[in-house]
Structure 1
Amino acid sequence: MAETINRIIVIGTSAGGVEALTRLVSDLPEDMSAAVFIVLHIPANSSGVLPKLLGRTARMPVSHPLDGDPIQAGHIYVAPPDHHLLLRSGTIHVSSGPKENSHRPAIDPLFRTAARNYGARVIGVILTGNLDDGSAGLLMIKRHGGLAVVQSPTDAQFPSMPASAIDSVDVDYVQPLSQIGPLLQSLANAPAPVPSDVSPDTELDRTREDDRIAFDSEADSDAHAAARDYEVGRPSVYACPDCHGVLWEIQEGDVLRYRCRVGHAYTVENLLSAQEHSLEDALWAALRSLEETSSLAWRMELRAAERGHAHGRKYFRERAIAADARALVIRQAIERKLIAEPGAPNDDIPYAEK
């Protein structure tokens, strides 16, 4: 195992990530003078088999870290299920803070904390995945002098994440997966970069980002959050899909994202996706309510008929027919939505547990 940590390598991926990571870690040498950190979107109830899967091909040890573990070179650390993986100066922090982009673990908290604590020594890597996860974190790495490496979208099983990173960030390297491992090895073996002076704008970004990192890892009181509202961003007209609080709008270069008071965060594409899920949930709830109304009204219509109450029978029959008509409209709307997205992958289940 290498004794000196020359580089901090942070890797983010989602759909298609297991296959990509399995290939990538097999290309990394055991004496690498870097520590490697991986976030893959996984279900909260996962049994945590990813280190075992990657360990079959990796030449470095692979594990879920514990909170407070020291960072060691020549080691691959994988975010545990339902926990963010964050970096401090010399140590690892495992957090159950608010979800970002509907995920915990999420990519951006790892990238941000790596940039904050290790600056120009950080190499951020974005691999296959859906939507635009990781772009905001990769931008923060670049602003602190680090390097950005992105899998070529034409080479990725799911190209959306790499394409978004390329659109949003001044990426240093765009490579097929087969070339990323050797590239990381070469970069890790090069002399450690000398930290550059932080510009006033970047220093302001760092101050604001420190506040957001606190949301990721520490229990902030509502009063403390309110006191820092002016530093987080400007209030938007949108509500948080998780807690329904006001979302604050944060503009970072070409990346626009949103964060609520308690710390839930979204990029634009993920906010749109979350709102669509909320709409579908609302439609199902409305459909259930209408079908229950219909069922009760038809039952009352039958009861009125048995008792010879013509007026009551007519009243309940009209209520039942109206409820059935509304339910049919909603059911058709849901079906049209599902038909329009027949092949949409489930980003919450990126691999089959073995």
Structure 2
Amino acid sequence: MAIIAIGASAGGVDALREVVAGLPADLNAAVFVTLHIGAHRSDLPWLLSRAGLLPATHPVDGEAIRAGHIYVAPPDHHMLVEAGLVRLTKGPRENWARPAIDPLFRSAARAYGANVIGVIQTGGLNDGTAGMYEVKARGGTAVVQDPAEAVTPNMPQSVIDNVAVDHIVKLAQMAALLTGLVDDQKSTRPRIVHPTGDAQEKGMTAEFTLNRPVAVTCPDCGGALRRSELGKLTQYSCHIGHVYTAEVMMSVQFLTMERALETALRSLGERAELCREMSVKLADDPDGEAAYKHWAAAKDEALDQTEPLRALLTRPWLHPAETSSRERHDC
């Protein structure tokens, strides 16, 4: 079974529908589609199902991959490919997008190697270029829409400029090309490719990480801080002149963190109140029972999520400078 991974952005709905309309019902490939829809509700599975012979759905996390099916990245989730499974994550945005194309291409290439056919259609900027580079690096095939006919040519042109592309085609020929590439696949089983484990790869999993920061930043302006030693005293200074000792930096960092947690707590409280007000409005509406339950459940969810934040705000935190001072005084 082959994996066809398609990425599109501006103008992508019509482009996707035209390609899907030409794919056969017995296609021996699973089709994965990422369109830059952000967190907005999407009817793309319904539109693609109506456009052609293959069923299209938003997958659930852990769903089994099967041939002859179109998997569409759901709103506000990256869609990843593992060996035999679809994975969904709300990891950090890539190229200012979630869902983004690069995580789909990257994960498909690492799981299925030469059995992957990457496709980039119309769109702005260059999401998908880095992912297509990995598709090619692991033996896959790179296909792009002819930029000359794309509504927005930047994405396909970026791939052409940076990757050894195998096929540049117009939409009218793309479905036939993809069907032919699938039929030409020599392997009938997915070739599992194990990651090399280098540091860059580990940091590109479409999940939030806690890697070592590149730099400590200035609480006043956000610029990178330079460390200097004055005897036993450590100072941090940014390029416009803000200066902190390590002890003051520790205190300021704590205040910054505290404000961020308070902002998150306030946002959750406001979400809970909005949901409560809407549930009260619908409580006595006989036609709004389902909507009432959704609003009430969302309210409870928001309130539940405030508890970990309250715990973080009220817990005692270590302050090394104060501890060291007390220890010296005790001695």
Is residue 83–residue 192 contact of structure 2 (8 Å, CA) maintained in 1? no
Q: Which of 3, 10, 15 is the matching residue for 1:15? A: 10
| Aligned match for 1:212, one of 203, 207, 211 | 203
CA, structure 1 residues 203+61, in 2 after alignment: closer, same or farther (shift >3 Å)? closer
CA contact (8 A) 2:118 2:132 kept: yes
The one-character-per-residue Cα deviations of 1:194-236 (angstroms, maximum 9, x if unpaired) are 99999xxx975x634541343x13x53x2xx12xx7xxxxx59
Q: Which residue of 2 aligns with 1:48?
A: 42
1:168 aligns to 2:162 (yes or no) = yes
Distance 2:204 2:130 in 1: 13
Unaligned runs of 5+ in 1: 230-234, 247-354
Distance 1:245 1:141 in 2: 36
The answer to whether the 8 A contact 2:20-2:48 is kept is yes
CA separation in 1, counterparts of 2:146 and 2:74? 27
Shift of 1:189: 1.1
2:91 corresponds to: 97
TM-score normalised to structure 1 length: 0.58
Q: Which is bigger in relative contact order (C-alpha 8 A, separation at least 6)?
A: 1
Q: How does 1:240-319 map to 2 (within 5 A)?
A: none
Structure 1 Cα separation of the partners of residues 21 and 223 of structure 2:
44
What is the distance in 2 between the residues matched to 1:238 and 1:135? 30
CA 1:147–1:209: 2 relative to 1, 3 Å: farther
Q: Is it true that 1:182 corresponds to 2:176 in the alignment?
A: yes
**Amino acid of the residue matched to residue 36 of structure 1?**
V
1:77 to 68, 71, 78: 71
Question: Do structure 1's residue 155 and structure 2's residue 111 form an aligned pair?
Answer: no
Quote the residue 1:279 is aligned against.
Answer: none
In structure 2, relative to structure 1, the CA distance for the partners of 1:148 and 1:237 (3 Å cut) is: farther
**TM-aligned CA deviation for residue 192 of structure 1:** 2.9
Label 1:157 to 1:69 Cα distance change in 2 as closer, same or farther (>3 A).
Answer: same
Q: Establish whether residue 141 from structure 1 lines up as the match of residue 126 from structure 2.
A: no
Distance 1:192 1:90 in 2: 19
What SS is found at the alignment partner of 2:149?
Answer: coil
Aligned residue identity for 1:166: I
Q: What secondary structure does 1:56 align onto?
A: helix
Q: Could you state the TM-score of these two structures normalised by the residue count of structure 2?
A: 0.62
Report the Cα distance in structure 1 between the residues aligned to 2:215 and 2:124, rounded to whole angstroms: 25
Q: Tell me the matched-pair count.
A: 220
Contact between 1:113 and 1:213, CA under 8 Å: does it hold in 2?
A: no
Q: Which residue of 1 aligns with 2:124?
A: 130
CA distance in 1, matches of 2:129, 2:216: 23
Aligned counterparts of 1:23 and 1:80: Cα–Cα separation in 2: 20
Equivalent residue letter for 1:35: A
CA RMSD of aligned residues (A): 2.7
Instruction: Quote the Cα distance in structure 1 between the aligned partners of 2:144 and 2:217.
Output: 31
Please name the residue that 2:294 is paired with.
none
Q: Shift of the alpha carbon at 1:155?
A: 1.6
Distance in 2 between residues matched to 1:59 and 1:16, nearest whole Å: 22
Aligned residue number for residue 241 of structure 2: none
Distance 1:97 1:154, change over 3 A: same
Deviant stretches of 4+, over 2 Å: 191-198, 206-210, 235-239
CA gap 1:189/1:47 in 2 versus in 1, 3 angstroms: same
